[in-house]
Amino acid sequence: MSVQRVAYLVLRCADLERSRRFYEGLGLRLSPEQHGSGAKHYSCDVGGLILELYPLSDKPTSGLRLGLVVSDLERVLESLRALGAAVGVVGSEGSSPVTVIDPDGHRIALEQER
**Nearest-angstrom CA–CA distance, 82 and 104:** 18
Q: What is the pTM of this model?
A: 0.76
Question: pLDDT for 32-79, tens place per residue?
Answer: 999 889 899 999 999 999 999 999 887 667 777 788 888 888 899 999
- For the segment 71-95, what is each residue's pLDDT rounded down to a tens digit? 888 899 999 999 988 887 655 445 5
Sheet with 8-13: strands ordered across: 8-13, 49-55, 41-46, 31-33
pLDDT of residue 1: 54
E strand or H helix at 80:
helix 73-82
